[in-house]
Chains A and B, each alone.
Chain A
Amino acid sequence: QMQLVQSGAEVKKPGASVKLSCTASGYPFTNYYIHWVRQAPGQGLEWMGIINPRASTTTYAPEFLDRVTMTRDTSTRTVYMELGSLRLEDTAVYFCVRDPDGFDIWGQGTMVTVSS
């Protein structure tokens, strides 16, 4: 069964960093790009960036360029997304998603709450 399993919910203070994980199973890990998408409460979907698990190359959305880092560990089939300098408006559900032709497999989402 192909799936992406994400780490659990996080609560952080403004200015802190958070590192989320996304572990793939059921398919060749290095064959498909992984994206990160977030969704603030009651809002739409926002694309954050992409990582190529084979080459470890990344591209980030301009609005996150200076505070996001995506990495991967092929030995554990895991992708990580670290977001720094957290603000209240970073409160959202963060999804990792596989991309062959369209975002076909989504993680269950990780709720990140930023609160003072």
Chain B
Amino acid sequence: EIVLTQSPVTLSLSPGERATLSCRASPSVGTSLAWYQQKPGQAPRLLIYDASTRATGIPARFSGSGSGTDFTLTITSLEPEDFAVYYCQRRSNWPYTFGQGTKLEIK
């Protein structure tokens, strides 16, 4: 069974700062990893797929990196609308497990 562990659970930052979110997979998922953003009362939104490819319409301040077991979602210069919960998801084989999420909150 593949497990995805996200850290930190909560990240408190101010607008304009840089956010670094981590997702660790065990065992390796290659580059078959996606990132989603979810705001309260809304469906998640795809940000990144294949570990580093931005989805259509996603601003350039969002970037993904990593391969194998360690992945990072970076948001440069946080905007007020970026405060939300972020999930990673493995896409190497079914089941397409999600991480438990990182809540990015305003400091």
Residues of chain A at the chain B interface (Cβ within 8 Å): 35, 37, 44-47, 50, 59, 61-62, 95, 97, 101-104, 106-109
| A101 near B50: Cβ-Cβ < 8 Å | yes
B37 → A minimal CB distance (Å): 12
A7 → B minimal CB distance (Å): 15
| B97 near A47: Cβ-Cβ < 8 Å | yes
Known A-B contacts A61-B95, A102-B91, A103-B34; A44 and B46 likewise in contact (beta carbons under 8 Å): no
B72 → A minimal CB distance (Å): 17
B55 interface hit (Cβ, 8 Å): yes
Total of A-B residue pairs, C-beta within 8 Å: 52
Partner of A106, one of B43, B53, B55: B43
Interface centre among A101, A102, A109 (most CB of B within 10 A): A102
- Closest-by-CB residue of A relative to B90 is A47
Q: How far is the CA of A54 from the CA of B68 in the complex (A)?
A: 32
- Count B interface residues, CB 8 Å: 24
- Closest-by-CB residue of A relative to B93 is A59
Query: Chain B 40-57, CB within 8 Å of chain A: the 1/0 string?
Result: 000111101110010110
Q: How far is the CA of A108 from the CA of B41 in the complex (A)?
A: 10
B62 interface hit (Cβ, 8 Å): no
Q: How far is the CA of A46 from the CA of B97 in the complex (A)?
A: 7
Q: List 25 A-B contacts (CB under 8 A).
A: A35-B96, A37-B98, A44-B87, A44-B99, A45-B44, A45-B87, A45-B89, A45-B101, A46-B98, A47-B95, A47-B97, A47-B98, A59-B94, A61-B94, A62-B95, A101-B53, A102-B49, A103-B36, A103-B46, A104-B55, A104-B56, A106-B43, A107-B43, A108-B43, A109-B43
